[in-house]
A and B are shown apart, each in its own frame.
Chain A
Amino acid sequence: MSVDLEKLAQEEYKYGFVTDVEQEVAPKGLSEDTIRMISSKKNEPEWLLEWRLGAYESWKKMKEPRWAFLRYPEIDFNDISYYAAPKSNPSPKSLDEIDPEIKETYDKLGIPLEEQKMLAGVAVDAVFDSVSVFTTFKEKLAEEGVIFCSISEAVEEYPDLVRKYLGSVVPRGDNFYAALNSAVFTDGSFVYIPKGVRCPMELSTYFRINAENTGQFERTLIIAEEGSYVSYLEGCTAPQRDENQLHAAVVELVAHNDSTIKYSTIQNWYPGDKQGKGGIYNFVTKRGRCVGRGSRISWTQVETGSAITWKYPSCVLEGDNSVGEFYSVALTNRRQQADTGTKMVHVGKNTSSTIISKGISAGEGQNIYRGLVEIGKNAEKARNYTQCDSMLIGDRCGAHTFPYIEVRNSTAHMEHEASTSKIGEDQMFYCRQRGLSAEDAVSLIVNGFCKEVFKELPFEFAVEAEKLLSVSLEGSVG
């Protein structure tokens, strides 16, 4: 069987098609003018332009971080276009006004934008390159006072909220990629859940990169007022191209007293081919602040795509009794590399955090878990549970874990478990002896390995995630 596992055939990436629409693409290069151009395209207020320019100033002084366990060539930030938008109707009021090509794209991706065709109970914001092309169920959500729209629209319609919270979790100069994003972000989603409201639907954003040589820089901001609840999901895909494309997003979550934000990601950016050509470079800053007591932020991610993933969804547990959770499945196949994990920063009393990370490496994939649990000096009786499991399929892949722990309060209670296993030859043989093909056996075993994470996903998406994992594993056995 070990021989089988090494024969890595290549399964086609299912979402690799290109949509042929006329697009307005900004010339390559990054300068103050680029930023002014983006800001004026979006009719932004002066304060936001200033904010962007400030971020750009910080960014220019920063160095690209190289501490991650990732190998990739230098990125030329002047060889990227920072804005691409379909030329057709920029802000369609109804579905009929959307370019049919774009609508068809989402149909092909399995995200029909017609509300009646959607999964029941899921509202979608569709982001195509640099712009949000449509948001469904807005009216229905508005009845409950829930705001779900593109961030561009939020800047126009709810400037006070945006101004209050933008950068309040991830400051514009936080890190190299966050600063870049703050300078040039083009679109993303905005969610506001008023006090005491349990959001009646799953909210989701579907990110699609289409244009060539462009980066996607989206910004998502979610605010949950006291006692509210929201479950949000993002999905991402991109065409199959030979050159690498940059995706640098920032996500900020704010949870007030006794509110809950569940944030799930199914990331399936184009991973590059077998030789490691092409694929998305995914540099993402995601952070949530549990500002209120008893608040809860839960990150669940299933990362199967991208050539490079650099991503550490984090929680800052400021409110007493607040809870942070991180559930992650990261799969690297072919030449993919992922350096991912989380930061749990305990500030308030009785705060607790849970980290469950499942890394699967196949082919020549490299999978790194990097996590920090920090217990501040006032965080009385903080608790953390970390479990970090790696699975290797074949013997040309790798897994590494870098767990960091900083404790400044002696009442903290920490538990850490870690394991690395080679996908068991005995398990494989057992399944095959019962009649399962080698591929079905791998997929069954890996899905079992990820069970604890999948059960955190909204039901419909858990099924999707299992399928996606199976597809991503295709070709990992010969």
Chain B
Amino acid sequence: MLEVKNLHVQVDDKEILKGMDITVAPGEVHSIMGPNGSGKSTLAQVLAGKEAYEVTEGEVTFQGKDLLDLEPEERACEGIFLAFQYPVEIPGVANTYLLREALNAKREYRDEKPLKHVEFAKLAREKMKTLGIDEDLLKRSVNAGFSGGEKKRNEIFQMQILEPALAVLDETDSGLDIDALKIVANGVNSMRDSGRSFIVITHYQRLLNYIVPDFVHVMVDGKIVRSGGKELAHELEEKGYAEF
């Protein structure tokens, strides 16, 4: 699914990723943990194609394609989804409107017919219910005035509609109350299957009780310093990052 090899990334002449490696097979869930500022969000943004980050070395292949060659929207259409750590507000643009445009862009990319209004509305209503999202939230402007938790839930809602092959969740759990955490985790688990992979970035072992990862990686200063199974998360919870 995804193979990142010796990835070096810099922004404004400052190196942030310093030889990052990670391989994610179809159906796997990988968790990345690590101290603040270690480069987790940077990795997520680079995978999604943010241009401010300059790749100076290394390669990234996604489903056999050179990912670094693709525009952000092409990556999205190829199946990469990023649930942002800080979802942005877009005043005046209805949440549903953006989402329908997004879904239809993806469908067009695959030579499928665009979904009609009614069909989309039906789909949206289904997903919304399971995530406990208020209908009102769909009509409102994208993320405008949403609470922190609502924003995060909205990201998962978008993920459910867009059905990506690889979803990168950047601290989707932070700012969620316990109930919301379970709802979001269920939203992710319900999508787990042999063809879909997840990279879950988090600071808290708690989330991993609900979304049980196949692998846990520790990222420090721009690279993976240790990898292991889900037990590694418990160990980190106890000992912190001091030993790295």
Chain A residues touching B, range: 20 to 34
Contact with B along A236-270 (1 / 0, CB 8 A): 00000000000000000000000000000000000
Within 8 A of A (CB), among B131-181: 141-142, 158, 162
* Bound complex: CA A447 to CA B97 (Å): 12
Contact partner of B51 among A3, A437, A451, CB < 8 A?
A3
Q: When the two chains form their complex, are residues A427 and B72 in contact, meaning their CB atoms are under 8 A apart?
A: no
> Which residues of B lie under 8 Å from residue A1 when comparing CB positions?
51
Q: When the two chains form their complex, are residues B101 and A433 in contact, meaning their CB atoms are under 8 A apart?
A: no
> Which residues of A lie under 8 Å from residue B52 when comparing CB positions?
425
Does any Cβ of A come within 8 Å of B21's Cβ? no
Q: When the two chains form their complex, are residues A438 and B90 in contact, meaning their CB atoms are under 8 A apart?
A: no
Contact partner of A433 among B49, B90, B99, B103, CB < 8 A?
B49
A358 to B, closest residue via Cβ: B92
Does any Cβ of B come within 8 Å of A435's Cβ? yes
* Bound complex: CA A3 to CA B51 (Å): 9
Contact with A along B32-70 (1 / 0, CB 8 A): 000000000000000011111000000000000000000
> Which residues of A lie under 8 Å from residue B142 when comparing CB positions?
430
Contact partner of A427 among B90, B97, B102, CB < 8 A?
B90
Q: Which of B81-89, B111-119, B183-191, B224-232 contacts A (4 or more CB under 8 A)?
A: B81-89
Q: When the two chains form their complex, are residues A430 and B92 in contact, meaning their CB atoms are under 8 A apart?
A: no
Within 8 A of B (CB), among A409-454: 424-427, 429-438, 440, 444-445, 447-452
A431 to B, closest residue via Cβ: B98
Given A440-B105, A447-B93, the answer on whether A430 and B73 have CB atoms closer than 8 Å is: no
* Bound complex: CA A181 to CA B141 (Å): 44
Closest chain B CB from A451 CB (angstroms): 4
* Bound complex: CA A412 to CA B109 (Å): 56
Does any Cβ of A come within 8 Å of B7's Cβ? no
Does any Cβ of A come within 8 Å of B77's Cβ? yes
Q: When the two chains form their complex, are residues B109 and A435 in contact, meaning their CB atoms are under 8 A apart?
A: yes
> Which residues of B lie under 8 Å from residue A4 when comparing CB positions?
51
> Which residues of B lie under 8 Å from residue A438 when comparing CB positions?
71, 73
Q: When the two chains form their complex, are residues B76 and A435 in contact, meaning their CB atoms are under 8 A apart?
A: yes
Closest chain A CB from B43 CB (angstroms): 14
Q: When the two chains form their complex, are residues B72 and A432 in contact, meaning their CB atoms are under 8 A apart?
A: yes
Q: When the two chains form their complex, are residues B105 and A427 in contact, meaning their CB atoms are under 8 A apart?
A: no
Q: When the two chains form their complex, are residues A452 and B92 in contact, meaning their CB atoms are under 8 A apart?
A: yes
> Which residues of A lie under 8 Å from residue B49 when comparing CB positions?
432-433
* Bound complex: CA A152 to CA B46 (Å): 65
> Which residues of B lie under 8 Å from residue A448 when comparing CB positions?
90-93, 141
Q: When the two chains form their complex, are residues B88 and A424 in contact, meaning their CB atoms are under 8 A apart?
A: yes
Closest chain A CB from B79 CB (angstroms): 10
Q: When the two chains form their complex, are residues A435 and B51 in contact, meaning their CB atoms are under 8 A apart?
A: no
* Bound complex: CA A425 to CA B45 (Å): 13
> Which residues of B lie under 8 Å from residue A440 when comparing CB positions?
101, 105
Q: When the two chains form their complex, are residues B84 and A436 in contact, meaning their CB atoms are under 8 A apart?
A: no
Closest chain A CB from B141 CB (angstroms): 7
Contact partner of A429 among B72, B77, B103, B141, CB < 8 A?
B72
Closest chain B CB from A418 CB (angstroms): 15
Given A440-B101, A444-B101, the answer on whether A449 and B92 have CB atoms closer than 8 Å is: yes
Closest chain B CB from A265 CB (angstroms): 21
Q: When the two chains form their complex, are residues A447 and B92 in contact, meaning their CB atoms are under 8 A apart?
A: yes
* Bound complex: CA A424 to CA B142 (Å): 14
Q: When the two chains form their complex, are residues B98 and A444 in contact, meaning their CB atoms are under 8 A apart?
A: yes
Does any Cβ of A come within 8 Å of B203's Cβ? no
* Bound complex: CA A445 to CA B76 (Å): 19
* Bound complex: CA A426 to CA B52 (Å): 11
Closest chain B CB from A210 CB (angstroms): 37
* Bound complex: CA A424 to CA B92 (Å): 14
Closest chain B CB from A230 CB (angstroms): 28
Does any Cβ of A come within 8 Å of B106's Cβ? yes
Closest chain A CB from B55 CB (angstroms): 15
* Bound complex: CA A97 to CA B82 (Å): 62
B76 to A, closest residue via Cβ: A435
Given A448-B91, A450-B92, the answer on whether A434 and B50 have CB atoms closer than 8 Å is: no
* Bound complex: CA A431 to CA B90 (Å): 9
Q: When the two chains form their complex, are residues A445 and B102 in contact, meaning their CB atoms are under 8 A apart?
A: no
Q: When the two chains form their complex, are residues A451 and B92 in contact, meaning their CB atoms are under 8 A apart?
A: yes
Given A1-B51, A425-B52, A448-B141, the answer on whether A435 and B90 have CB atoms closer than 8 Å is: no
> Which residues of A lie under 8 Å from residue B73 when comparing CB positions?
432-433, 435-438
Contact partner of B90 among A425, A430, A450, CB < 8 A?
A430
Given A440-B101, A445-B93, the answer on whether A433 and B76 have CB atoms closer than 8 Å is: yes
* Bound complex: CA A3 to CA B71 (Å): 13
**B residues engaging A (CB < 8 A)?**
48-52, 71-73, 75-77, 81-82, 84, 87-93, 97-99, 101-103, 105-106, 109, 141-142, 158, 162
Interface contacts beyond A433-B75, A447-B93, A452-B92: sample of 20 additional A-B pairs, CB < 8 Å, sorted by A: A3-B51, A4-B51, A426-B88, A427-B89, A427-B90, A429-B50, A430-B87, A431-B90, A431-B98, A431-B102, A432-B71, A433-B76, A433-B81, A433-B82, A434-B162, A435-B77, A437-B73, A448-B90, A448-B93, A449-B91
**A residues engaging B (CB < 8 A)?**
1, 3-4, 424-427, 429-438, 440, 444-445, 447-452
Closest 8 CB pairs of A and B: A448-B92, A451-B92, A448-B93, A434-B102, A435-B105, A432-B72, A435-B76, A426-B88
Write 23 A-B pairs (CB below 8 A) sorted by A numbering.
Answer: A3-B51, A4-B51, A425-B52, A427-B88, A427-B89, A430-B90, A432-B73, A433-B72, A433-B75, A433-B84, A434-B76, A435-B109, A435-B162, A436-B73, A436-B98, A438-B73, A440-B105, A448-B91, A448-B93, A448-B141, A450-B92, A451-B92, A451-B93
